[in-house]
Every structure is written in structure tokens, then in C-alpha cells.
Structure 1
Amino acid sequence: METPQAAGGPAEQPPSYPAPPLVPYSPPAQSPPPLQTWQPAPPRRSRLWYASLLLAVIVTLGGLGLLYQDDISWQQQSGDLSRQNASLRDQLRITQSDYRTAQQTIQDLKTQALHPNVGIWNVQQHIDGPDFYLAGGVPDTFTYHLHATSSGPMSVSILTFEQFAASVDCVHQGTGNTNYCMHHQPKIANTWLNVTKVDYDFHLAEGCANYMVVFTAGGAVTVSPNVSVTYNPAPTFTGDC
């Protein structure tokens, strides 16, 4: 810039100075960019998916635990019910058995009521020899259960009254002794000679009142009878009637 001259005098020149030397410009060295440590955050949708998956796993495990507990509980209840059922089945079998026994007892009682059984001769008696006898009537409308034993050989016959009378006449006429005549009449219903035991059910008196039983022996014996009768009336006449 030039300095203006003062009015009325010569202008004074300023001193000149040499120009400073030119220094080349060097820009500052650039520092390396810092390492990037920031990572982009996962998208929000991924976080929700993981959270949902975790929740589903927790719920599933919890459900499995509950199912396991329920299964154990049901198994225990099932075992208890099985034992109770087995006990009830045993009680039912016992009850059914008792019921069948009761039914049979009732049926037996009904049968006994319709057909009562009564013992009529069970006292020991002696036959002193071949001229002696034991005799008893066979009741009408009854089954006659003849059971007897003896200490020695005896003879037993079931006779009609007419046959018994003929046997007595046989003795009186001297045809034979009592032990013979009582068992040798024609058409005797039943006869057992020289035995020590008799077991027989006689049915011909169920519709006929015309029979008797006679015991004799060839020597002295003791007879042990166990005779009973069962009421069993026949619908019509039987035997000698």
C-alpha cells in the first residue's frame, strides 16, 4: 500500500526490507482411525424370538413336571383301586359261597320238613339162643332204614304179619326152632342169614302197614340196632297191600 505524500514537500520513501524466505508447508500427519468396537445390536425381532423360545421351554418343562406328578398320582390311585377291587372280589366270592351254602341249608330244611327223619330203635339187645327173637314193626308211610350189627352171626328177615304168624305156627308144630322158622316162609320180602351187619332201606311200607322185622341167632349174641325212618308216603299202595 502506498503512503500518500504530504502537501508541499517531496515524499519520503520508506526503507525496503527483504522478503522472508519461503518455507514449504507440510500438513500434519494423519492419525490412524480408532478401532471400531461397537457392534450392531441384534434386531428386536430376534430378541423377542429368543425370549419366546425360552418361555416355551420353561412352560414345556413345567407342564412335563405336572404331567409326571399327575402320572405318579394316577398310578398310586390305580394301584389302590386294584387292591380294593381284589378285596371286593374276595368278599364277593365269600358272599356267594355263603349264599350257596345258605340256599343248600334252606333246601335241606325244606326237605327235612317234608320228609322228617326219626330214629326209632338204637338200644342194644340180647338174643339168648335159637329159641329167642327180637321183633319190631315197620311203620306205614315211612322209608325204613335198617342198620344193625351183632357180636356174632344173626339172621334178619322183614316179614308180613301173616308170615310172622305162620312162623310162630311152624315153631309150635315142631317144624323147627325160632331161628329156622322165622326165615323160611314162602315169599319173604327180605332175608339175611348168618350175618353180623345189615344196611338196607326198605320202601315197601311207604304205602302199606303190614310189615315187621325179626332178628334171631343160632347162639347168644348182642344186637346193636340203629334203625330210623323217613316220612315218605307213597301215592298208591305198595308191597303186600
Structure 2
Amino acid sequence: MNHHVLASVSIAGTTLDLLGGMYLAYDLLGGQHGPLRLLTRIVTYSVIFGIFYGLGLGLIFGIAAGVTTGITISFELNRAATGKPHYPVWGEALCSLIRGAGFAIGLYKQDGLLFAAAFAVLTTVGQIFAYSRGMRPAIDYSPQLRPRLTRRQFLGTVNRVFGWLIAALICSFVSHRVEGAWLFALRVGLTTGVATGAVIMFGPIVEYYADHLPERRMGVFGICLILSGFALQSLQYWVALLDVKVS
């Protein structure tokens, strides 16, 4: 077993313990008007994006892009849920920049600094342009207990597929990555499109439960997180106890 993997598992366990404790302290954190509704969105959307991004473009990209995308989108949707207007231009630009940075971190190891930096710049500019045209995560916002995909959301997803595909092709040209450029660009576009489409379709369900989850279920979920965290943290001790070789 690799020691990096063991450390990652232990960190994940500690994080789950922290999240579980926060859910158990639901009342102390302000109840329905506290931060746990936002936290629920962050965890859920980060996991969804992380899974789809990871399956399509690798574990590192899944973690980096999934977390940054999940966090920024959660803040934007949380504003819509509370009836607040969308962020001003500088706020939306900051969200775009954070997501672009996540893409760069995810692509750096496998594609190099030049490709990653160029992709971050292009996608950040592309997202800011989309915001200026009214295309944002909270478009057609409507919490409900069934999947939903409006015409504008569908068109936004399609545009994202082609936009990210073209961005990947341009970055391949800039970084002189010729071999497999078209195939990789297609993978980037389709991965992004599938992840975006999944979040848009099932987002209404996530939004409904984020604002209507009963307090008792919050506590049960917190206990499950703590138990899961304990199991992950204990792995390092089982490895030592069973004399498993760590490289």
C-alpha cells in the first residue's frame, strides 16, 4: 500500500468526522437558517461533480475540479434558494476563476503547466461570457422532487460541451500536444457535458432536500459520517497491526 494513499484516507476520515459533528450540532449552528444547508449543497454537488469528472478525466481532476465547482455552484444556488439576487459581475468572475483554477490543478500533472494554464484562462473567460449572457447555475431555479431539464438548461449544457472541447483543442495546439488531441478534447467536452447535465437534471431534488431535510435525519446523517470517518481513520492502525507493507 502506498503511504500517500494511506495519508489521503486518514485525511478523508478526519474530514468526515468534522462534517458529522457539524450535522449533530445542527441546532447549535443555527438550525434551518444556519450553514448546514449550504454545507449539504457543497458536499452533494462536490461528490456528483467529482465522480463524473473523475471517471472521465482521472482521480486528481475529479477531486480538484469537483470540489471547486461544487463549492462555487453551491454558494450561487444557496443565494437563489434564499431569494437573493445573483452575485454581481465581480462575484461571478471570482467563481469562474476558482473553477478555472480547479481545472488547471486537475490537468497539470497529466498535461503539463502550459496546457493547464491555457485551459484555465480559456474556461474562465468562457464562463464569464456565459454569465454576461444570463447563463448561470441558478437559471430556471425550481426545487422539486423530480428530475428537470428546461430548454435553456439543455442549450447551456450543449454549449458547455462544445466550448470545453474547443478550449481543449486550442490548448493542445498551444502546448504542442498533437498526438491524441482530438480524442482528448472530445473526452473533456463529453465529461464536462455529462457532469453538468447530471447536476442540472437532479439539482432540483438536491435543492428540495437541502431545504426540507428533517432535523432527525440530519442527526442520523451526522452519525453515519462520523462512523465512516472512524472507519477510514482506523485503516492506518489496521495496516500497522497486520504488518501490511507501506511503500
Instruction: Tell me the TM-score normalized by structure 2.
Output: 0.17
| Structure ranking higher in strand proportion | 1
Structure 1 or 2, whichever has the larger Rg, is: 1
Task: Identify which of structures 1 and 2 has the higher relative contact order when contacts are C-alpha pairs closer than 8 Å and 6+ apart.
Answer: 2
| Structure ranking higher in helix proportion | 2
